[in-house]
Amino acid sequence: MRRGAAFFDLDKTILAKSSALAFARPFYRGGLLGRSDVMRSAYAQFVYLISGADHDQMEEMRAYMSALVSGWEVETVRTIVADTIDSIVDPILYDEAVELMAEHRAAGREVVIISSSGTEIVEPIGARLGADLAVGTQMAIENGRYSGEILFYAYGPYKAVAMRDLAAENGYDLDASYAYTDSHTDLPMLEAVGHPVAVNPDAELRRVAGERGWPVLDFESKVSLRPSLDSTRSKAAAGVALGAVALGVAWYAARRSASH
């Protein structure tokens, strides 16, 4: 019996900021970024929050991040994320999003987070939030380091492709599924399900949602998960993500690259 799923974008939908840019300072302290990179990330965060990101900006960000992380040791990235996830994620987590995910779980729907941020960031956040699956952009790894090649870019139309593949693999009924995102660049994601919802939408998505009669939600409240998920448990959850969930996404990216 097929059941619906709830697909959530991450940045400005579940989190109030860009998840990738939010980790700029921990990466700087861990020796992965220089001061100029942190400043550029802070500016990019400001632009992202004020105006959202259009297609050209997302493509620029992809090229920039690809060149930036080339040569980074993957285990170092995973350790930094696991050690700092509480302090980074808790202050920017939308209470309304957490409640909405709980409502979908109670209704028997699996919760899937799909974000253009890297898997090493998206998966631990997904595990911390109790998501059933987390899909992010996946970089190729050679000898324990990022090569700079992007195997799968979880952005725009590729999100919809991933959703259809996941639906076929896991038995989701997309007509009975929900999707939540803030950006007009994710229109394919919204169009892939029977219940699209615009969350904190940019101007273009708000216009489209109005024309098509889609619900619009504006999240504002922040919530901390610390009372229910302490640091030890969240690190354990990150380990689970890097085990079970990461293997699933790695298989997915390999499957996509093999099909081209």
| Residues with a known catalytic role | 9, 11
Counting Cβ atoms within 10 Å, is residue 192 exposed (0-12), middle (13-18) or buried (19+)? Answer: buried
Q: Which of 167, 2, 197, 9 is nearest to 94 (CA)?
A: 9
Pick the closest to residue 135 from 160, 173, 162 (CA basis). Answer: 162
Greatest distance between any 2 Cα atoms in the chain = 53
